[in-house]
Amino acid sequence: MINKSKSSNLDFLNGDEAVAYGAKLCRPHVIPVYPITPQTIVVERISEFVANKLMDCEYIHVESEHSAMCAAMGASLVGARAFTATSSQGLAYMHEMLHYVSGSRFPIVMMNANRTLAAPWNIFGDQRDSLAQRDTGWIQVYVENGQEALDMIIQAYAIAEDDRVYTPVMVNIDGFVNTHTYELVDIPQQNDVDEFLPPFKSKNAIDFNHPRSFCMTASTEWNMEFRYQQQQAMDNAKKVIEEVDKKFGDKFGRYYGGLVEEYRCADAEVILVGMGSIIGTSRIVVDKMRDMGLKVGLVKLRFYRPFPVEYFKGLSNRVKAMGIIDRDISFGYEGAVASDIKSALASSGFCSKVINFIAGIAGRDITKEYIEEMYNKLFGLTQGHDEKELQFIGLRW
C-alpha cells in the first residue's frame, strides 16, 4: 500500500532501484561503491544516472568494500556528502572501517542488502550480516519494503547530519525479498527533497583557516570521553529519529513511527516482534487471525541501534506473551534481537513468556503458516503449555 505524497510520481521499482532513487534525491557528492549480490542493482542504477547526467556526483569504482568506506570517509572529511551500499561479505570486509567512521563522527549513509554470511556460502537473505555489526557505532534501521527503503535513505541523512547526532546510518533492506521485488514506489519530487534535506555543511570537516587533525590517536586518558560522546549521540538520535519521521511525514505524507511501529497491538494478548520484510507478511497473518477473533499484535522493530529499550520495558505489562523473530542467531546463545529485548524486559520478570523464533535463515521463506504457528505457540504459552525458549522454525528436522 502506497501513501502518495502531495505530488506523487509512482514507478514500478525493485528495492535496490528504490534505494538508488533515494540516494539520487539526496544529491551525494561522492559515491564509492563495490558490487555485491544482492546490492548490485543499486550500483548499476546509480552508474546509469551518472552516465546520463541525471546525477551529478563523483562515482568511484573502488576495488573493495574496505576501500569504499575509506573513500567515503575521505570524502566526508572534506565536507562532502557520501553514500555507499553493500551486503553481507562486503559489510564484513569493511567492518574495521565502520568503527573508524562512527568513531570520527562522519555522517555517512550506507544501504546494506541483508544477506547471510559464509560459510556455508549463500547469497540469500537473513540479517546476520548487519546484526554482527551491532557494536560498530552505526545507527541501524530495517525497512519493510521498497518505499520505506527510498524514504529511509532520505531520512537517514537528516538523522546522521543532525548536530545532535553526527553518526553514520546503515539502512538495511532484506536481500532478494525486498531488493529484487518490484513494487509501486512513490518517488518524491527533487525540490521537495531539497527542502527537506538542505545542502550539507559539515561541522566535522577540514577548514584550512582552522586546521585540525581528525580521527587521531586518543590515549587512555582521553579515549573514554570520546566513547561517552558516541553514546550520547545515540541517545540523542532516539529523539531525532522521531522528529525526522514527523517532519518527513508532514512533508511527504508517509509516517513510519520512528523507532518502532505497532500494528494492531492496542488490545493484543500475544505479539510478535520482527524486523524488515517479514513485517509485510506478518500483517496479513495478523489481519486473518484478528478476523478469527484472536487478539494478536505485531511490533515492527525499525531501529536496532539506537535500541528502543524504553518501549520494550513498557510493553511487558500490556501483553501476555511475546515472540521475537530473529533472522540470525548468535551461536551458543540465541537471536541477537531477542537478547536485546529480553534484556529490556529483565526487570519485569516477563522473560518466561517470551519465545525466540529463529527463522528465515539464508533466504528460507517465512510463510504465513509459519507465522500463524508462532502465534499459536504464544497462545499455548499463555495457557500454561511448555514451550522452548529458543525454537527454529521451518527446520528440516
Partner 1 sequence: MVKVKNLTDKEYLYGHKACPGCGLGTIGRLALKILGERTIVALPASCMSTVTTQYPQMNYSVPSLTMAFAGTGAVLTGMSAGLKAQGVTDVHVLGLAGDGGTADIGLQALSGAVERGDDFIYICYDNEAYMNTGVQRSSLTPIGANTTNSPSGTASYGEKKPKKNLFEIMIAHRIPYAATASSAYPYDFMNKMEKTKSLRGPKFIHIMCPCPTGWGFASDLTVEIGKLAVETGMWYLAEYENGKVKMNVIPKTLKPVEEYLIKQRRFRHLNEDTIKLIREHRDSEWRIIRERWVLSNC
Contact residues toward partner 1 (CB under 8 A) are: 29-30, 32, 57-58, 60-64, 66-80, 82, 96-97, 100, 206-208, 211-219, 222
Q: Tell me how far, at minimum, the Cβ of 194 lies from partner 1, in Å.
A: 17
- Closest residue by Cα to residue 295 from 267, 325, 263: 267
Alpha carbons 327 and 357: distance in angstroms, whole number: 9
- Closer to partner 1 at the Cβ: 68 or 273? 68
Nearer to partner 1, 104 or 391 (CB): 104
Nearer to partner 1, 71 or 299 (CB): 71
- Least distance to partner 1 from the beta carbon of 229, Å? 13
Rounded to whole angstroms, how far apart are CA atoms 143 and 253?
17
Minimum separation from the CB atom of position 77 to partner 1 (A): 5
Cell numbers found for residue 225: 570521553
Tell me the CB-side half-sphere exposure of residue 293, using CA atoms within 13 A: 0
Smallest gap from residue 237 Cβ to partner 1 (A): 24
| Shortest Å distance, C-beta 124 to partner 1 | 28
Closer to partner 1 by CB, 199 or 332: give it: 199
Q: Kindly tell me which of 203 and 247 has the beta carbon lying closer to partner 1.
A: 203
Q: Which is nearer to partner 1, 182 or 228 (by Cβ)?
A: 228
Smallest CA-to-CA distance from 155 within 248, 262, 57 is with 248
Compare residues 104 and 122 and give the one whose CB is closer to partner 1: 104
Least Cβ distance, residue 85 to partner 1 (angstroms): 15
Torsion of CA 3, 6, 10, 15, to 10 degrees: -60
Q: Which of 85, 43, 280, 285 is nearest to 177 (CA)?
A: 280
Residue 85 CB burial class (10 angstroms; 0-12, 13-18, ≥19): buried
| 243 touches 282 (CB < 8 A) | no
Query: What's the chain's Rg over C-alpha atoms?
Result: 21
CB of 100 to partner 1, least distance (A): 5
Between 67 and 339, CB nearer to partner 1: 67
- Smallest gap from residue 367 Cβ to partner 1 (A): 43
Which contacts qualify for 8-13: CB closer than 8 Å, 24 or more apart?
Answer: 8/186, 9/186, 9/187, 9/188, 9/189, 10/184, 10/185, 10/186, 10/187, 11/184, 11/185, 11/187, 12/182, 12/183, 12/184, 12/185, 13/146, 13/150, 13/182, 13/183, 13/185, 13/187
When the beta carbons of 94 and 296 are compared against partner 1, the nearer one is: 94
User: Residue 34, Cα to own-chain centre: how many angstroms?
Assistant: 20
- Angle between the N-to-C axes of helices 15-25 and 40-51, in degrees from 0 to 180, rounded to the nearest 10: 40
Q: Whole-number minimum distance, CB 82 to partner 1, in Å?
A: 7
